[in-house]
Structure 1
Amino acid sequence: MTYPDKAPASVQGWFAAEKSADPAAGMRAVLAPDVVFDFGGRRTQGVDNVVMIVGLMMPAGWLGEVAWRVLPVTTDGKVTVRGVGPGGAPLPSPGGPMGAIDFTFTLDADGLISEIAPQPHHPEPEDLIQPLRPGDTAPDFVLPDVDGAEVSLRPDESRATVVVFTCNHCPFSLGWHDRVQQAARDYAARGVRFLHINPNDPAVNPKDGVEHSRKRVTEGEFAGPYLVDEGQAVARRWGARHTPEVFVLDGHGTVAYHGAPDADVADDSLNAGWLRAALEHVLAGTALDPADTEPVGCSIKWNR
């Protein structure tokens, strides 16, 4: 790893911690007590919480031989560091390569890190649209499940339909998985249908292959069909970018909610609250606020 030697000492210490014998202790030494980790609009505060979420997102050692450089400073008190692979090669990540990753650090008066905001740069296909928003009509689809049987969207046959783009390896998909499945079981008797779609290219991560998906279904992990978007056409037409990413449709196929299952993957007590609230409003025929939240998770692994 090439360290950002022109960065402030606390920023250098944060990167050095990743290669140390005790990464958590190294990070704690350079973080302010009220530090905030801001990723995809989700803000985690406090040293212990930040160390936990960083460990979840970025396991020790995954960065490998990254070359870091400090970008020109445009805002007082902020330092942005960009990492790229050797010779411009794609960066490794816990589930697939990405073009680059930026970390913007805000420092307090003592030089400690008071905020960290990572921004990964995953290449996206040119025909990827903006995500469907509340009020949009969802495009229909027919996809095979893990056994090859064709499954279609058919929103008019249910009181509500939940489409979840997910996968087999992303820690956010796995972290929210049980909450989403329990919601599927709880709402099945009320006429709600859940469809799970794996859009990831298994050439990027073999865990997203059909065999692994079939094993999870066989073991009873899914309360609804698990579909394979092999050509990624559905993800592109829906504008999905993350795993997980949730879309709730009413009986006319209109998007009523888009975003994350709830506010915090690390808090099981939230119980997919945003998803459940969306379903309650669709079933009651009332408007939802908020109807659009920021999905938080791994980026979809595109086959380009």
Structure 2
Amino acid sequence: MAATPPVCDFGWKAPAFSLPATDGKTYALSNVAGPKGTLVMFICNHCPYVLAVLDRILRDARDLQGLGIGVAAICANDAVAYPDDSFPEMRRMAEAKGFPFPYLHDESQAVARAWGAACTPDFFGLNAAGELQYRGRLDASGRMPGPADARRDLYEAMKAIAETGRGPAEQVPSMGCSIKWKVA
């Protein structure tokens, strides 16, 4: 089911986390934070919205890292109900696609809940102080990739955050598959 996250709550302080990654290491938010800001994105392996733009996500992540932005991705989906989102499958995708950032597994879903993640992809752009400045879309893509020359909303917002510490006042929310929560 498609979901849209809420608008950016400017200044919201990102909760800390410590999660295992597909590279065999464990990362805390402080480990992935960049000197000019941090992008944390909730993605998964099976979501058609993520798959439609995965190459663009990887491109933008590399470009943002060059600007001093730390980048990490988190998969929090229920892997029992969605086996494509299991940790072994996450590892396979990260290796096959050459993820330039840690791909973290939130098996308990505690981090996704603490962050208020709503969908995949859901982008959280933080400034150097760890304050939320962007909660928008990657670009105009949806279940299908947008035009090749689509405005790079996420990249432009994170570039502004790296330069000024502030995200754009106007943001278009991301849209994607809802987080697949475990049944209590």
Is the alpha carbon distance of 1:247 and 1:291 closer, same or farther for their aligned partners in structure 2, counting shifts above 3 Å?
A: farther
> What is the aligned partner in structure 1 of residue 16 from structure 2?
140
Aligned to 1:302: 181
The aligned counterpart of 1:281 is: 160
Q: Percent identity among equivalent residues?
A: 34
Tell me, yes or no, if structure 1 residue 240 matches structure 2 residue 117: yes
Aligned-residue CA RMSD in angstroms?
2.2
Match of 1:269 among 133, 148, 153: 148
Question: CA distance change for structure 1 residues 285 and 138 in 2, over 3 Å: closer, same or farther?
Answer: same
Residue deviations 1:75-124, cap 9 Å, x none? xxxxxxxxxxxxxxxxxxxxxxxxxxxxxxxxxxxxxxxxxxxxxxxxxx
Deviating runs (4+, > 6 A) in structure 1?
Answer: none
CA–CA distance in structure 1, aligned partners of residues 11 and 33 of structure 2: 16
| C-alpha separation in 2, matches of 1:217 and 1:237 | 24
Task: Look up the equivalent residue of 1:219 and give its one-letter code.
Answer: A
Q: Any stretches of 5+ residues in structure 1 without a counterpart?
A: 1-38, 42-129
CA distance in 2, matches of 1:206, 1:272: 34
2:57 to 152, 162, 180: 180
Alignment of 1:74-113 (within 5 A): none
CA contact (8 A) 1:260 1:274 kept: yes
Paired position in structure 2 for 1:214: 91
Local SS of the residue matching 1:197? strand
Report the Cα distance in structure 2 between the residues aligned to 1:208 and 1:165, rounded to whole angstroms.
12
Which structure has the larger Rg? 1
CA contact (8 A) 1:257 1:291 kept: no
Q: TM-score, normalised by structure 1?
A: 0.54
Query: Aligned ranges for residues 1-304 of structure 1 at < 5 Å?
Result: 133-154=9-30, 157-265=34-142, 266-270=145-149, 273-285=152-164, 287-304=166-183
Number of aligned residues? 178
1:201/1:166 Cα in 2 relative to 1: closer, same or farther (>3 Å)?
same
What runs of 5+ residues in structure 2 fail to find an aligned partner?
A: none
Q: Which amino acid aligns with 1:295?
A: S
Whole-Å Cα distance in 2 between the matches of residues 138 and 249 of structure 1? 8
Counterpart Cα distance in 2 of 1:170 and 1:284: 32
**Residue type of the partner of 1:261?**
L
Aligned-partner residue type, residue 278 of structure 1: A
Deviation at 1:222, TM superposition (A): 1.3
